[in-house]
């Protein structure tokens, strides 16, 4: 019954997602640009391919979890891409955070080859990916989504359907990442205000996290923002910038002015200019503390 799965892209998120598929008993072949990252998967029982095309079986499922739109296009339609091989009745399950425009483009590409394209971007940090606790939103042809149900279930705690438009799920993902980034900035401002008015930002964060803002995203991020440091990187700041660039691109195309999106974008760009691209993206809020002179005081 179960189709062969080619899983392409073993970054911080992809590794845990692919592992859950293997553990759930799927026939998984993985591909990653740097081979070293395939070791753990191989140990779990996955096959390892040397190219995206090699990872995929005709009529099977190609799952992509790669860094950005251009890498996605390359692994799909590039020289070593799996696009031509996926063939009739294949399904491309596209899980990266990408532009809805790219989804529309790839959906057309696959349609011409008898394949289906389903967008299913994910919400959750690497720990959630490893635990199979991601939230998934999806959009694409009904029949394909039905066939993918067991695959998606193995990776996420819930799946939310946004209809058949190829890029719809990507729009939701962009809106969500924007909201998270906006919350990081908002918390940065709120906790800096507290700190500079005699109340520990950490105490304020703890209060809000168990009362009106008692949501996963707040509970995860509030202590990190209040502490103004993140030892572990869950999501690279440079990738956060990529996502907010996609948000602003969608904002531009659809003529939707978004002032808060501009603020978080500037924070991320400034962090890049200061050489913080490989820090966790929570550190976008560090700019707030710097503007408030809080970081100077720390040093002195």
Judged by CB under 8 A, the chain residues 194 through 253 that form the site for a copy of itself are 194, 196-199, 203-204, 207-208, 211-218, 245, 247, 250-253
Per CB under 8 A, contacts with a copy of itself among 13-52 are none
Binding mask 134-173 for a copy of itself (x = CB under 8 A): -x-x--------------------x-x-xx-x-xx--xx-
**Catalytic residue numbers?**
173
Which of 26/123 has CB closer to a copy of itself? 123
* Minimum CB–partner distance for residue 287 and a copy of itself (Å): 7
Write the CA distances from 74 to 6, 78, 102, 191, 239, integer angstroms. Answer: 15, 4, 12, 42, 18
Which of 56/194 has CB closer to a copy of itself? 194
Judged by CB under 8 A, does residue 127 bind a copy of itself? no
The stretch among 47-55, 81-89, 227-235, 259-267 that binds a copy of itself (CB under 8 A) is: 259-267
Judged by CB under 8 A, does residue 192 bind a copy of itself? yes
Q: Which two tokens stand for residue 149?
A: 């149900």
The stretch among 5-13, 20-28, 71-79, 290-298 that binds a copy of itself (CB under 8 A) is: 290-298
Q: Which long-range contacts (CB under 8 A, 24 or more apart) does 252-261 make?
A: 253/101, 258/178, 260/178, 260/182, 260/185, 261/178, 261/181, 261/182
Which of 37/238 has CB closer to a copy of itself? 238
* Minimum CB–partner distance for residue 40 and a copy of itself (Å): 27
Which of 10/128 has CB closer to a copy of itself? 128
Q: What are phi and psi of 120, to 5 degrees?
A: -145, 70
Judged by CB under 8 A, does residue 182 bind a copy of itself? yes
Residue spans of alpha helices (H) in the chain: 14-23, 39-44, 52-55, 69-77, 83-86, 100-111, 126-130, 142-155, 168-196, 201-210, 216-227, 237-253, 259-273, 286-291, 294-299
Q: Are 3 and 14 in contact (CB under 8 A)?
A: no
How far is the C-alpha of 105 from the C-alpha of 116, rounded, in Å? 12
DSSP 229: -
The stretch among 12-20, 81-89, 113-121, 270-278 that binds a copy of itself (CB under 8 A) is: 270-278
The stretch among 46-54, 78-86, 142-150, 267-275 that binds a copy of itself (CB under 8 A) is: 267-275
Pick from 83, 100, 132, 140 the residue near a copy of itself by CB under 8 A.
100
How far is the C-alpha of 174 from the C-alpha of 97, rounded, in Å? 7
CB-based contacts of 300: which residues, under 8 Å, 6+ apart? none
Judged by CB under 8 A, does residue 86 bind a copy of itself? no
Which of 34/197 has CB closer to a copy of itself? 197
Q: Which residues pair with 236 in a beta bridge?
A: 280
């Amino acid at each position: 019954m179960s189709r062969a799965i080619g899983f392409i892209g073993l970054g911080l998120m992809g590794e845990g997602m692919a592992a859950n598929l293997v553990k759930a008993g799927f026939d998984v072949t993985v591909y990653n640009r740097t081979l070293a990252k395939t070791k753990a998967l191989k140990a779990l029982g996955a096959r390892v391919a040397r190219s995206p095309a090699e990872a995929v079986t005709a009529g099977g499922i190609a799952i992509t979890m790669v860094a950005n739109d251009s890498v996605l296009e390359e692994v799909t339609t590039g020289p070593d891409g799996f696009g031509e091989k996926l063939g009739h009745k294949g399904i491309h399950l596209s899980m990266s955070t990408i532009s809805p425009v790219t989804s529309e483009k790839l959906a057309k590409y696959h349609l011409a080859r008898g394949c289906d394209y389903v967008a299913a971007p994910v919400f959750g940090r690497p720990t959630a990916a490893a635990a199979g606790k991601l939230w998934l939103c999806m959009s694409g042809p009904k029949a394909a989504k039905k066939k993918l149900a067991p695959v998606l279930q193995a990776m996420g705690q819930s799946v939310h359907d946004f209809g058949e438009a190829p890029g719809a799920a990507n729009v939701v993902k962009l809106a969500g990442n924007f909201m998270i980034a906006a919350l990081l900035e908002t918390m940065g401002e709120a906790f800096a205000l507290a700190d500079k008015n005699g109340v520990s930002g950490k105490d304020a964060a703890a209060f809000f996290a168990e009362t009106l803002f008692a949501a996963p995203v707040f509970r995860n991020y509030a202590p990190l923002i209040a502490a103004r440091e993140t030892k572990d990187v869950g999501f690279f700041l440079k990738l956060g910038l990529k996502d907010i660039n996609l948000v602003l691109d969608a904002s531009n195309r659809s003529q939707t002015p978004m002032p808060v999106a501009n603020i978080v974008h500037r924070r991320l760009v400034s962090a890049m200019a200061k050489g913080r691209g490989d820090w966790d993206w929570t550190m976008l809020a560090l700019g707030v503390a710097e503007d408030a002179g809080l970081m100077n005081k720390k040093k002195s």
